[in-house]
């Protein structure tokens, strides 16, 4: 039976969360909104509509949503040629692929952003597929991105692990009835990730790679 290793990308495989914070902060500022960066950081990982709803409220002027989303995309795109992959991110994906896991990316990024992120991670030889914000109607914490990625992998919920860095990732995993593993590389504390449903938490891709043989991945292999 197929084992599916699903991964968020921003903040999980690439060190980009704070680039998104800066891009969203500047987009909001240019739209006339003053939002503390700490609040922006707490919303990273949500799709743009949900992010704006969390930061500006559901009673905001939705007529500005497209402008703000586009402005964020323009500011973030200035980093495309220097997006930093997290250390050992590619090696982690390759290690899982070599153990027979189908590796699929499940991100709230647009398809264009995902293309740049995949170049940065440089592990396409280990990636069986990907789904982006352009492929789903609802982003995380809704389960649709996780379920779509699981379909791409051809796996089942009981043989799937979704690794992410945000509360939204862990909630999406729980809603999809799959095991959630969290990394601390997105700047969210261990307690918040555990409260959102993380079964295990690691410091980074390097830490998870070093502990693969004692992780939920290895235990799931043995249970099959």
d(CA 162, CA 106): 9
Domain count, the chain: 2
**Residue-number span of the structural domain to which 117 is assigned:** 3-16+84-223
- In this structure, are 186 and 111 located in the same domain? yes
- In this structure, are 131 and 185 located in the same domain? yes
- In this structure, are 125 and 56 located in the same domain? no
- In this structure, are 103 and 40 located in the same domain? no
Give me the half-sphere count of Cα atoms (radius 13 Å) on the Cβ side of residue 17: 25
Q: What is the pLDDT of residues 95-113, one digit of tens each?
A: 999 999 999 999 999 999 9
Q: Looking at residues 14-25, what average pLDDT do you find? A: 98
| Residue 127 and residue 104 in contact, taking contact as beta carbons nearer than 8 Å | yes
- In this structure, are 51 and 153 located in the same domain? no
- In this structure, are 67 and 130 located in the same domain? no
Of 78, 93, 121, the one marking the end of a domain is 78
**Average pLDDT in the chain:** 96
Using the predicted structure, report yes or no on whether residue 223 has a pLDDT greater than 90: no
Q: Looking at residues 120-144, what average pLDDT do you find? A: 96
Using the predicted structure, report yes or no on whether residue 184 has a pLDDT greater than 90: yes
- In this structure, are 11 and 89 located in the same domain? yes
- In this structure, are 94 and 190 located in the same domain? yes
Q: Compute the residue count for the chain.
A: 224
Using the predicted structure, report yes or no on whether residue 47 has a pLDDT greater than 80: yes
- In this structure, are 65 and 174 located in the same domain? no
* pTM for the structure as a whole: 0.96
- In this structure, are 26 and 98 located in the same domain? no
Contacts 24+ apart (CB under 8 A), 30-34: 30/71, 31/64, 31/67, 31/68, 31/71
Confidence grade of residue 224 (pLDDT, cut at 50, 70, 90): low
- In this structure, are 59 and 112 located in the same domain? no
Q: What is the pLDDT of residues 150-176, one digit of tens each?
A: 999 999 999 999 999 999 999 999 999
- In this structure, are 53 and 160 located in the same domain? no
Provide the CATH number for the domain around residue 167.
3.40.50.1000
d(CA 20, CA 47): 12
Q: How would DSSP label each residue in 131-190?
A: E-GGG-SS-TTSSHHHHHHHHHHT--GGGEEEEESSHHHHHHHHHTT-EEEEEGGGS--H
């Amino acid at each position: 039976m197929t084992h599916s290793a699903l991964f968020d990308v921003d903040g999980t495989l690439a060190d980009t969360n704070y680039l998104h914070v800066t891009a969203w902060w500047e987009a909001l500022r240019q739209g006339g909104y003053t939002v503390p960066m700490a609040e922006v950081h707490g919303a990273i990982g949500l799709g743009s509509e949900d992010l704006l709803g969390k930061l500006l409220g559901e009673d905001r002027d939705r007529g500005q949503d497209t402008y703000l989303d586009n402005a964020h995309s323009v500011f973030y795109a200035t980093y495309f040629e220097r997006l930093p992959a997290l250390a050992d991110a590619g090696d982690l994906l390759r290690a899982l692929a070599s153990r027979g896991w189908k590796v699929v990316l499940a991100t709230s990024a647009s398809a264009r952003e995902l293309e740049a992120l995949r170049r940065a991670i440089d592990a396409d030889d280990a990636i069986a597929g990907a789904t982006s914000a352009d492929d789903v109607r609802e982003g995380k914490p809704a389960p649709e991105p996780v379920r779509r990625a699981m379909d791409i992998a051809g796996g089942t919920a009981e043989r799937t692990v979704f690794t992410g860095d945000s509360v939204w990732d862990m909630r999406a995993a729980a809603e999809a009835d799959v095991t959630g593993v969290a990394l601390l590389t997105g700047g969210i504390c261990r307690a918040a990730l555990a409260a959102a449903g993380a079964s295990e938490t690691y410091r980074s891709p390097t830490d998870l790679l070093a502990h693969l043989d004692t992780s939920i991945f290895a235990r799931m292999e043995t249970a099959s």
